[in-house]
């Protein structure tokens, strides 16, 4: 067999009247006229194909049923994918929540914190602001005590 000989696919194409890939029908016919090996292979292939029963066209109803079954199986095969994706996403969310909120874990580091949160965490050197209502009531009581002391004298 020479390097430019026809392969099995090309011989099958020639048998059914189509030119092989990359060549013309005339070039393939010229090669078959010169090459005894390719001519013998083509004759064996033609004899083998002649012994095979001819394919028949399927009934359109059968073809429709087969297509419907294939479509149903393709749809059924991937029906679990969204559920699996949701399950994986939920598991990841639970793991992240457990890592963040379990006791003993430090709070996640953020770049900037508001001033109010920093002030509430640091001890302040100033006493808390006095309640004005409480101070007014205290002043009233002191004045009341003073009036009672004057009256009782």
pLDDT for position 19: 79
Q: Which stretch of 68-72, 75-79, 97-101 has the lowest confidence by average pLDDT?
A: 75-79
pTM higher than 0.75:
no
Distances (CA, A) of 59 to 62, 63, 64, 65, 66: 5, 6, 9, 10, 11
- Side-chain half-sphere exposure of 72, counting CA atoms within 13 A: 6
Distance CA 109, CA 101 (A): 13
Name the DSSP class of 126.
S
Residue 42: partners with Cβ closer than 8 Å, 6 or more residues away: 6, 11, 14, 15, 32
Question: Using one digit for the tens of pLDDT, what is the confidence trace for 10-52?
Answer: 888 888 888 777 778 888 888 888 889 889 998 998 888 888 8
pLDDT category at 58 given cuts 50, 70, 90 is low
Higher pLDDT, 82 or 89: 89
Cβ pair 15, 42 in contact under 8 A = yes
- Side-chain half-sphere exposure of 111, counting CA atoms within 13 A: 0
pLDDT for position 106: 57
User: What spatial distance separates the first Cα and last Cα of the chain, rounded to whole Å?
Assistant: 142
Q: Which two tokens stand for residue 66?
A: 């087969």
pLDDT for position 68: 83
Domains of the chain, by residue range, sit at 8-51
pLDDT category at 91 given cuts 50, 70, 90 is very high
Distance CA 29, CA 20 (A): 11
pLDDT for position 129: 60
Question: Using one digit for the tens of pLDDT, what is the confidence trace for 101-147?
Answer: 776 655 556 655 555 555 555 555 566 566 667 666 777 777 777 77
């Amino acid at each position: 067999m020479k390097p430019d000989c026809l392969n099995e696919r090309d011989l099958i194409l020639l048998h059914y009247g189509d030119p092989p890939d990359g060549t013309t029908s005339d070039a393939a016919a010229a090669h078959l006229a010169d090459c005894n090996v390719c001519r013998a292979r083509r004759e064996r292939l033609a004899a083998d194909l002649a012994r095979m029963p001819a394919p028949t066209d399927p009934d359109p109803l059968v073809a429709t049923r087969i297509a419907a079954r294939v479509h149903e199986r393709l749809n059924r095969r991937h029906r679990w994918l969204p559920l699996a994706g949701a399950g994986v996403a939920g598991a990841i969310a639970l793991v992240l929540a457990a890592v963040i909120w379990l006791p003993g874990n430090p709070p996640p580091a953020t770049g900037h914190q508001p001033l109010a949160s920093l002030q509430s965490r640091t001890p302040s050197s100033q006493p808390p602001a006095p309640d004005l209502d409480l101070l007014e009531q205290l002043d009233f009581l002191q004045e009341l005590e003073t009036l009672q002391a004057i009256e009782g004298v």
